[in-house]
Amino acid sequence: MNQPHYKLYIDGKWTEGSTGQVMHSQNPATAENWASFACASEEDVNQAVSSAKAALDSPEWRDMTQTARGKLLYRLAELIEENAELIGRVETTDSGKLLAETQSQTKYVGDYYRYYAGLADKIEGAVLPIDKPDMHVFTTRHPIGVVAAIVPWNAQMFLTATKLGPALAAGCAVILKASEYAPAPMFEFAKLVEQAGFPKGVVSVITGDAPNCAIPLTRHPDIDRIAFTGGPETARHVVRNSAENFAVTSLELGGKSPIIVFEDADLETASNGLIAGNFGASGQSCVAGSRGLIHRPILNKLIEIIKEKASKIVIGDPLEANTHVGPLCTEAQINTIKDTLEKAKSQGASIHLGGAPLDQAGNYMAPTLVECAHNETETLKVEMFGPVMSLIPFDTEDEAIAIANGTQYGLGSGVFTQNIARAHRVSQKIRSGICWVNTYRAVSPIAPFGGFNESGYGREAGTEAILDYTRTKTTWINTSAEPMANPFVMR
């Protein structure tokens, strides 16, 4: 059976790239290569940026009405829904994520494009009540320019939509840089962009390694905005590169999100929340609730409930409908988890469940439950990006809040309690960009998404995100019939 091969999509054309470099993508479920893809060089990056800049100046895109832009986004949303099964299957084969999630998530991101399609002609300026006579002053919002959108492999369609939707609605041109790990669904998506009828150069999709692709892209002098999702260390390089072009930058990074369970919580709901936050997506989520803070009186009971539920988890082929946990995307994740668990055990942690990779082909890690002896336990500090849940007890509300905030991250958080006053009180005191109460890992195009501290800055989704892809212009019109006054005095 022939393996699929994916080309780069630049300036409305499909290309093998200037150097002919090819990489292979491995199916995490089998540990075998299943597809190949072209890689971008600096020359290809320059071509993508040049075509994006040309698109901004082209009447076909520049003069398109905001309503017409919205209609293109509506069309793209329809195509995504129609092709959700195909894209989901490709993403699952490429990254190991469950087919049930990739297909449903792909279909749902159509609503993100619809949301921003509806906002496209709601980008408004204002007439200012200026404090000077004979002056009419107003503001207008204009596309920020050429956007570099850098998307990781773990939730590609969702994390693309939160960048591309508002950027296109605002009238920008975008270069989507897919991860060199599992980029295939992004190239399938590029086919839909082409089919939707966006003018050439408005969207390009490329991938490649850091020296040849990511670095030239993020430091390119014609990049006006960088929207990055990934790890903190890579983000530091992105920020340094942006010093070369002063591009406006937003960062959506990782986390060690706390889930606080109080003794009055519904334990069925709380255990499902902990499982969703740790074993959902095989733990490969930036908002994974990998620090479970449990009120001491219910710790042992909650551990037993989780162990009982975990005994029914089906680990296997992510393409199968009954699978709950599939393989991890890379072998490196397995190695990180093994090393972290070894250190945690040396620190006094107890492994109640799992704790080792499965002895079979593919990158399979058993769902793991760790009871931590203290706050410095390694599993409470390292973002492992795998199905590892760490629990630690607390005695008071203030202690729980202190433990929750005792991290350099601040992306997600969860609170499980039936006391509504406590829910409000505690959620307000947790330093994180998102707080779920009696639920976990829910998203919507209407709700802003982003973090505090080393989890990044800027927000994706919601109404304000579209304004981040615009610049404000202020226009002054002198309405006086008299000649302009003294030119040597500021008015």
Task: Give the tens place of pLDDT for each residue, 268-309.
Answer: 999 999 999 999 999 999 999 999 999 999 999 999 999 999
Residue 118 CB partners (closer than 8 Å, separation 6+): 70
Length of the chain: 491
Q: What is the DSSP secondary-structure string of 92-115?
A: HHHH---HHHHHHHHHHHHHHHHH
Q: Which two tokens stand for residue 170?
A: 């605002």
Q: Coil, strand, or helix at residue 198?
A: coil
Q: What is the mean pLDDT of residues 432-438?
A: 98
Q: What is the mean pLDDT of residues 222-240?
A: 96
Lateral strand order in the sheet of 248-252:
13-15, 8-10, 203-207, 173-178, 146-151, 225-229, 248-252, 456-457
Decide if pLDDT at 139 tops 80: yes
Decide if pLDDT at 152 tops 70: yes
What's the confidence (pLDDT) of residue 279?
96
252 is catalytic: yes
Which residues is 313 bridged to in the sheet?
Answer: none
pTM passes above 0.75 = yes
Decide if pLDDT at 55 tops 70: yes
What's the confidence (pLDDT) of residue 491?
85
Q: Which two tokens stand for residue 368?
A: 């793991």
What's the confidence (pLDDT) of residue 1?
58
Res. 15 pLDDT band, cuts 50 70 90:
very high
Decide if pLDDT at 402 tops 70: yes
Q: What is the mean pLDDT of residues 33-57?
A: 98
Task: Give the tens place of pLDDT for each residue, 309-319.
Answer: 999 999 999 99
**HEC assignment per residue over 271-331:** HHHHHHHHCHHHHCCCCCCCEEEEEHHHHHHHHHHHHHHHCCCCECCCCCCCCCECCCCCH
For the chain, what percent of residues have pLDDT higher than 90? 99
| Cβ neighbours around 483 below 10 Å, total | 5
Decide if pLDDT at 398 tops 90: yes
Catalytic member of 101, 180, 252, 454? 252
Alpha carbons within 13 angstroms on the beta-carbon side of residue 321 total 0
Task: Give the tens place of pLDDT for each residue, 346-378.
Answer: 999 999 999 999 999 999 999 999 999 999 999
286 is catalytic: yes
Q: Coil, strand, or helix at residue 154?
A: coil
Q: 157 burial class (0-12, 13-18, 19+ CB within 10 angstroms)?
A: buried
Average per-residue pLDDT for the chain: 97
Decide if pLDDT at 479 tops 80: yes
What's the confidence (pLDDT) of residue 2?
82
For the chain, what percent of residues have pLDDT higher than 70? 100
Decide if pLDDT at 119 tops 90: yes
Pick the closest to residue 456 from 302, 229, 151 (CA basis): 229
What's the confidence (pLDDT) of residue 256?
96
Q: What is the mean pLDDT of residues 412-422?
A: 98
Q: What is the mean pLDDT of residues 234-238?
A: 96
Catalytic member of 213, 286, 329, 435? 286
- Specify the pairing of strand 5-6 against strand 173-178: unpaired
Angle at the Cα of 312 from the Cα atoms of 306 and 313, rounded to 5 degrees: 85
Which residues is 104 bridged to in the sheet?
Answer: none
